[in-house]
Amino acid sequence: MQFKEIVGQENIKQQLIQTVAENRISHAQLFLSCDGSGALPLAIAYAQYINCLDKQLDDSCGVCSSCRKYERYIHPDLHFSYPFFASKDVRTAVDVLEEWRSMLLADAYFDMDIWRSKLSAENKQANINIAECHDIIKKLSYKAFEAETKVLIMWLPEYLDKEGNALLKIIEEPPQNTLFILVANNQEQILSTLLSRTQIVKIPKLSHATVESYLMEGHGLSENQATEYSFLADGNLIEAKSLVTNTHNENADKFAEWLRMGYGNRVLDLTTFVEQAAGWGRENQKNFLKYGISFLRECSLLLSGAEDLVKLPVRALETAKKLSTHVLDLNMADAIITELEKAHYHIERNANPKILFLDVSLQLVKIIKFKTFPKGTQHIYN
């Protein structure tokens, strides 16, 4: 994978290239980022650049023998470690290496949920076990086959339990020309002994503009739709791609109209809406509810006088301002968000969508029209 294939993160790319140019590559690095920011693709591109036989100023050449093997993830000096579901047939990460390579070749942007779906998880917990740690030590103890630098990329070291302490010595005193790159999402869940031995590279979330541009250029979305999906994804490219695949309705318009129906106590219209929503399919229903939650949180910022922090696109911002001025207050917004979050939870667990959307619709009427909050919701209406 080359740097040019990675969406955004130009500053990080230059920073990594500079470490190679100045010969100051830290032997153990932790790429810390949110899901969908491109940390794993960056780690792979960095490793490829380090071992490229004809480095360019801003990227690997992509055509030398090393790059060609890296592109197919079959270079003998490129090793991966990642969480997996141990069984009698799967003892270490190598036992599911073909599935891992297949995943990377299809799309290097994925999260644990997507990876889990490719494996036989059953009721097991994913982890990086002691057998995997011993296998890493064994692999890295050998001399490099072809490359100048052996590279181990460990995805999600958060799944290392105390067994990860077995790796401390080899990380602190690695064999010559060995590079460890850990790719993590949650710093607090990583073993402190492991954390203290790495140089942290913080990778920021992608900007809304970057995701929006990617969606328009890479998926042919209209500007309005790309703006909406970018807002929903909040810098997560995995989420943005999922929205493109699974969402076929204009959430912004539909959600605003849903709120208007509740405010107007338009029961017949709400019944029609419920029939339509029940036929969208689970992913579209979840995305609709997620959009509503995000939209109302932005409305809450408006109601709190923090308009400068609002990230809504222009058209949705106009709607939010009207609703915040004439219909909603903070207590209402908070109560509706609670109802939407509960609905999202139940949709994920295969609740009957018709019953669920009817219930939420009636709660909207009670909250917006009659200013009556659901039982157990501790709000004080002013």
In sequence order, the 6+-apart residues with CB closer than 8 A to the CB of 143 are none
Identity of residue 239: E
Q: Which pLDDT belongs to residue 250?
A: 67
Residue 175: Cβ within 10 Å count = 14
Closest CA to 237 of 220, 212, 216, 217: 212
**What string of H, E and C letters represents the secondary structure of 73-142?**
CCCCCEEEECCECCCCCCCCHHHHHHHHHHHHHHCCCCCHHHHHHCCCCCCCCCEECHHHHHHHHHHHHC
Residue 84 dihedral angles phi and psi, to the nearest 5°: -150, 175
Query: Is there a contact between 106 and 112 (Cβ–Cβ < 8 Å)?
Result: no
Least confident range of 28-32, 177-181, 225-229: 225-229
The set of long-range contacts for 18-25, using a CB threshold of 8 Å and a minimum separation of 24, is 20/49, 20/50, 20/55, 25/50, 25/179
Q: Give the residue range(s) of CATH 1.20.272 domains in the chain.
A: 246-370
- Helix axis angle for 282-303 and 237-246, nearest 10°, is 130
Sign of the alpha-carbon torsion through 343, 344, 350, 352: positive
Polymer length in residues for the chain = 382
pTM: 0.68
Query: Is there a contact between 262 and 59 (Cβ–Cβ < 8 Å)?
Result: no
In which band, very low, low, confident or very high, does the pLDDT at 379 lie, cut at 50, 70 and 90? very low
In which band, very low, low, confident or very high, does the pLDDT at 150 lie, cut at 50, 70 and 90? very high
89-135 pLDDT, tens digit each: 888 888 889 999 999 998 889 888 788 878 876 556 788 889 889 99
Query: What is the third-level CATH fold of 246-370?
Result: Zinc Finger, Delta Prime; domain 3 (1.20.272)
Compute the distance between CA of residue 63 and CA of residue 74 in angstroms, rounded to an integer. 15
Q: Give the residue range(s) of CATH 3.40.50.300 domains in the chain.
A: 3-204
As a dihedral over the C-alpha atoms of residue 350, residue 355, residue 359, residue 362, rounded to 10 degrees, the angle is: 150
Question: Is pLDDT at 167 greater than 90 in this prediction?
Answer: no
Query: For 101, what's the count of Cα atoms within 13 Å in the CB-facing half-sphere?
Result: 14
Sign of the alpha-carbon torsion through 307, 311, 317, 322: negative
On whether the 3-204 domain is CATH 1.10.357.140, my answer is no
Closest CA to 335 of 302, 304, 305, 292: 292
Question: Is pLDDT at 378 greater than 60 in this prediction?
Answer: no
181-205 pLDDT, tens digit each: 999 988 888 888 888 888 999 999 9
Query: Is there a contact between 131 and 100 (Cβ–Cβ < 8 Å)?
Result: no
Q: Which pLDDT belongs to residue 287?
A: 78
Average pLDDT taken over every residue of the chain = 86
Q: Which pLDDT belongs to residue 360?
A: 95
- Helix axis angle for 208-219 and 237-246, nearest 10°, is 40
63-89 pLDDT, tens digit each: 999 999 999 999 999 999 999 888 888
Place of tokens 């222009």: 314
Sign of the alpha-carbon torsion through 150, 160, 28, 211: positive
